[in-house]
Amino acid sequence: MINNTLTLAEHYDIPSNIQDYTPEENITVESLCLEESIDALDYLRSVELRRIKIKNDLGEYFNFENESSELEYLENNSELIDILPSIAQYIKNNFDHNAKLTLELLNESVDWQTLFINIYSCTNWEKTNYFVDIFLENMYELYPFIAEKINLNVIPDEF
């Protein structure tokens, strides 16, 4: 019997001391599920941390209409995060210093998603046309890639 075992061990390149060989010991269905759960938790935690950072970066300038939608969009279009504070300043300096700004995702389909900057303003609606026109012109000239992803929605005479 011992001789047979040794012969098999040589033939299949496994340890000769068969009692010490427990290759399956650490890999169980339960342990695999646990690892997957830990990976999933790590992923969720990193998503959560990224979203907290976006909120911190933009919270000073904007409120969010439906937080999770806008944050997800911003996560996937992170180039917007750096420029949105400058856009907020531009709106305040050139349109209405007291305007309340919010972000809202228009999500009509996978191919039609636009991040709207809602501008709640006390400014008369007749003045908005000129401002929006100049804003769009500047955006398309300076940041055409960004201009494709955002839009303005002025809500006039709001206060």
Partner 1 sequence: MNFEPKNFINISKELKNGKTEAHYRSIINRAYYGVFGHIRKHLPIYVTDGSVHQEVISYLKRSTDLNEKKIARRLESLFKKRKDADYKYNFEIKSSSCDFAIYEAESIIKKFNEKDDYL
Positions touching partner 1 (CB under 8 A) are 106, 108-109, 111-112, 114, 116, 125-126, 128-129, 132-133, 136-137, 140, 147-148, 151-158
Spatial distance between the Cα atoms of 131 and 32, rounded to a whole number of angstroms: 58
Asked if 64 and 70 touch (Cβ cutoff 8 Å), the reply is: yes
φ and ψ at residue 78, rounded to 5 degrees: -65, -15
Min dist CB 125 to partner 1, Å, is 4
CA dihedral 129, 132, 137, 141 (to 10 degrees): 180
Min dist CB 100 to partner 1, Å, is 13
* Distance separating the N- and C-terminal Cα atoms of the chain: 94
Nearer to partner 1, 57 or 69 (CB): 69
Min dist CB 156 to partner 1, Å, is 6
Min dist CB 25 to partner 1, Å, is 56
Nearer to partner 1, 72 or 158 (CB): 158
